[in-house]
Amino acid sequence: MKILVANLGSTSFKYSLYEGDDSALTLLARGGYERVSDYGETIRDAISSMKKDGHIDSVDSIDAVGFKTVLGFEKTGCVAADDSVVADLRASAELAPAHNPAYANGIEQFAKEMPNAQLVALYETAFYQWASKPSRRYAVPKAWYEAGVRRNGFHGASHKFVAERSAELLGREDVAQQVRFLYQKDQSELPGKPLRVVSCHLGGSSSVTGIRNGVAIDTSMGLSPQSGLPQNNRVGDLDSMAVTYVMKKLGLSIEEVERQLTKESGLLGLSGKSNDVRDIWAAVDAGDDDAKLAIDSLVYSIRQYVGSYMLQLGGLDALVFTAGIGENDTRVRERVCQGLEDLGLELDLDKNAVTRGEETCISAANSRIKIFVIPANEELVIARETSRFLSHNK
Per-residue pLDDT of the chain (394 residues; tens, 9 = 90+): 999 999 987 778 899 999 998 889 999 999 999 888 888 888 899 999 999 999 999 999 999 999 999 999 888 999 999 999 999 999 999 888 888 998 999 999 999 999 999 999 999 999 999 999 999 999 999 999 999 899 999 999 999 999 999 999 999 999 999 999 888 877 778 888 999 999 999 998 999 999 999 999 999 999 998 899 999 999 999 999 999 999 999 999 999 999 999 999 999 999 999 999 999 999 999 999 999 999 999 999 999 999 999 999 999 999 999 999 999 999 999 999 999 999 999 999 999 999 999 999 999 999 999 999 999 999 999 999 999 999 988 7
Which residues, including other chains, have CB under 8 Å from residue 382's CB and lie 6 or more apart? 5, 66, 67, 68, 122, 157
| Dihedral angle computed from the Cα positions of residues 338, 343, 349 and 350, in that order, rounded to the nearest 10 degrees | -170
Q: How many C-alpha atoms does 46 have within 13 Å on its Cβ side?
A: 27
Strand 370-373 with 196-201, pairing: unpaired
CATH architecture of 2-122: 2-Layer Sandwich (3.30)
Backbone angles phi, psi at 7, to 5 degrees: -110, 110
In the chain, where are the structural domains located?
2-122, 156-373
CA 94, distance to chain mean position in Å, is 19
346 is in an annotated binding site: no
What span, in angstroms and rounded, lies between the C-alpha atoms of 348 and 363? 5
Q: Determine whether domain 156-373 maps to CATH 1.20.1050.40.
A: no
189 is in an annotated binding site: no
374 is in an annotated binding site: no
The vertex-147 CA angle with 142 and 149, nearest 5°, equals 75
Let me know how long the chain is.
Answer: 394
Burial 54-72 (b: 16+ CB within 10 A, else e): eebeebebbbbbbbbbbbb
Which stretches within 34-172 are classed as H helix? 39-52, 83-91, 100-113, 133-136, 142-146, 156-169
| C-beta separation of 180 from 202 below 8 A | no
Which residues, including other chains, have CB under 8 Å from residue 124's CB and lie 6 or more apart? 68, 69, 70, 71, 153, 154, 155, 156, 157
Find the radius of gyration of the CA atoms of the chain. 21
In DSSP terms, 201 is beta-bridged to: 207, 322
pTM of the entire structure? 0.94
Equal fold, 2-122 vs 156-373:
yes
276 is in an annotated binding site: yes
326 is in an annotated binding site: yes
What span, in angstroms and rounded, lies between the C-alpha atoms of 267 and 203? 11
136 is in an annotated binding site: no
165 is in an annotated binding site: no
393 is in an annotated binding site: no
68 is in an annotated binding site: no
